Structure 1
Amino acid sequence: MTKKEIVKQVKEVIEKNGYLQVAIEGVHSAVDLIAEKKDKKLLIKVVENIDSVSRDVALELCKLADFIGAQPLIIGERSKNVVLSEDLIYKRFSISCVSAKGFEYLLDGLPQPIAAKGIGAKVRIDGTKLKEIRQINNISAEELAQKIKISKSSVYRYEHNYAYVSLEVANRINNFFKSRLDAGKEEVESNILYSKDNEMQLAKTNVRALSVKRLPFNIIAKGKTNYYEIASEGDIRTLVKRAVVLKEIMETFKNNYSFFVIESDKKEIMDLPVIKKDKLYNISSEAELLEIIMS
């Protein structure tokens, strides 16, 4: 499937499960779909090949998800030339990756993908070390496969770092060689991409804020109950494209407010307010910020 076809299928699944959603289109973004249902939030990146997601994109996806309390997901068709299995979760820079059909399974009453029936935690085996210790022990790939009850092709994939390994298989390999060959569940699954030290305050208020990249906005801020998406960079054409997305976010999700912080004589862009930097920096409370946005 093409990315457009995957997005279409994912949007249908989201709608069927009663989530509100916004598709981010027309701008380069680390997030393609935002979905929300009560207290559940999803940030989704859609690609044909999950290996095409760069570390920088994954970083921004994780940063935003952590800040707003959302679950980041990558949905794709394949990894390299291998079609993603419907009942497996893959990992890309600590982010869970699933097929479009697998995503449908996750939303069918499974709040945490890693806990889904038939889906175990995945770890990365040190393929070079596995091959070395196998050869040192004078064991063929076929013999190892028989001993730990996997296919010979799986041994090949593990040794060439083409695949993650279930914890069960990793433990069998470790026990067989009496050596630790996997990276460990905690290392693989932990979010190592983002530190909360990157957070700041918005102007002189007590509103927490985070600088982001590769998104339709440059700053995301969080007050007591409200979120603020702030765009502050780009030419007028780019700002208009961003305004289309920001307006839809504000209209779709409750307690979301979007505005621009640019030096311009314009008072608004597509009905979204424009606030000059010096005025924003002198705001001392969230109530004052809301008053300016709504005026």
Structure 2
Amino acid sequence: MKSILTDRVVKILKDHDFSVCDCQSIQSCFDIFAKKEKVLLIKILMNIEGLTRASAMELKFASIALSGAPLLIGERMKNANLRDGVVYTRYGIHAFTCSTLRYILDEISPLIYSVRGDYVVNVGSELLKNLRTDAGMTMQELADELKISKQSIYRYEHSGVIPLNIVSELLVFFEDFNESDIKFKNNIFNEQKAGEKNREEIKSEIIAGHLTDLMKKVICEFNHIGFSTTSLNAPFDILAEEEEMVFTVVSNDLRTLKKKIKIVRKISDMTGSYKICVSEKKQDVDIFIIKPDELKEIGNSKELLKLLIDG
């Protein structure tokens, strides 16, 4: 079950000294928010094929805004189990098993990753060329030995990315080549970065179908006082950004507010960001709360931030 898998991931992260916020009590594009040296936004799905493009874009955008790395952890892909030690990709997001997460945190980096259904490894862009030239072989000669095309050798040498079955043959063929020469292609925990154009492209793919009339009103008022806003399926309903970031929870339902606010408070403390609740009703909650009509009276973003600091 998803809850059991989520609990396992939370335990692994805590065992490795991460501060962890478990978000599984609400619907969200990420189920775990974790921070140590790096910020991780983790989606948990038993079958990673269940991650839709829309949810992936929300996860990516949240990761960009929070300078974090989006991750997907699951157990299956279609009808097959995910292999431990293998990193998969879903809409550009690294995906792997719970055990693989532990390998990575223990700095036993995965040697294998999956690309379009093939298992490949990265030996570095110079290694294969050096092995071939040291052996006095041409590309064509090596291609003939491996029973592949010269173009394949050219591609492997320039990218450093080689199918697993070819690597097995190279390990036998070249005495100076061993498994310690195999490196993982990317730093899995690299934060999600994007230029302004790419950021806006990702934002444009986020479907705002879950917006209530109240949320639309709040977005309008935030934009009016100078904030850039994005509605997300997350613990915070609206991410408002200017010089600072404001996690905004919007609802008239007290039960929903309390669930979300409990999580938003923790994420806010972990990131040093501001938090606010907007509701048309008087609510007994433990963060700064404002009504839409009161928000309308605020002149600019700095005035709102001062209210949050003083409040």
* TM bracket (short chain): 0.5 to 0.7
Match of 2:65 in 1: 67
Q: Does 1:231 align with 2:249?
A: yes
Letter in 1 for 2:99: K
Match of 2:97 among 99, 120, 124: 99
Identity of aligned residues (%): 27
User: For 2:203 and 2:78, how far apart are their aligned partners in 1?
Assistant: 35
RMSD (Å), alpha carbons? 3.5
Match of 1:221 among 236, 240, 244: 240
Letter in 2 for 1:169: P
TM-score norm. by structure 2 comes to 0.63
What CA deviation, in whole Å up to 9, does each residue of 1:175-217 have, x standing for no partner? xxxxxxxxxx9xxxx99896266599944556543222x2122
User: For 1:19 and 1:242, how far apart are their aligned partners in 2?
Assistant: 21
Letter in 2 for 1:243: I
User: For 1:279 and 1:62, how far apart are their aligned partners in 2?
Assistant: 32
Shift of 1:59: 1.8
**C-alpha contact 1:206 1:286 (8 A) present in aligned 2:** yes
Change (3 A) 1:269 1:98: farther
Match of 2:31 in 1: 32
Secondary structure of the residue that 1:45 maps to in structure 2? strand
Secondary structure of the residue that 1:86 maps to in structure 2? coil
Shift of 1:218: 1.7
TM-score norm. by structure 1 comes to 0.66
**Matches for 1:256-275 after TM superposition, within 5 Å:** 256-264=273-281, 266=282, 268-275=283-290
Count of residues in correspondence between the two structures: 231
**C-alpha contact 2:28 2:235 (8 A) present in aligned 1:** yes
Change (3 A) 1:197 1:78: closer
Shift of 1:28: 1.1
**C-alpha contact 1:203 1:280 (8 A) present in aligned 2:** no
User: For 1:269 and 1:217, how far apart are their aligned partners in 2?
Assistant: 18
Shift of 1:290: 2.9
User: For 1:206 and 1:37, how far apart are their aligned partners in 2?
Assistant: 32
User: For 1:206 and 1:270, how far apart are their aligned partners in 2?
Assistant: 26
Secondary structure of the residue that 2:28 maps to in structure 1? coil
Match of 1:132 in 2: none
**Matches for 1:48-197 after TM superposition, within 5 Å:** 48-109=46-107, 116-120=109-113, 122-123=115-116, 167-169=161-163, 195=201
**C-alpha contact 2:61 2:203 (8 A) present in aligned 1:** no
Match of 1:6 in 2: 5
Secondary structure of the residue that 1:43 maps to in structure 2? strand
Unaligned runs of 5+ in 1: 111-115, 126-145, 149-165, 173-184
Match of 1:244 in 2: 262
Change (3 A) 1:13 1:71: same
Secondary structure of the residue that 1:90 maps to in structure 2? strand
Unaligned runs of 5+ in 2: 119-145, 149-159, 167-184, 186-192, 207-218
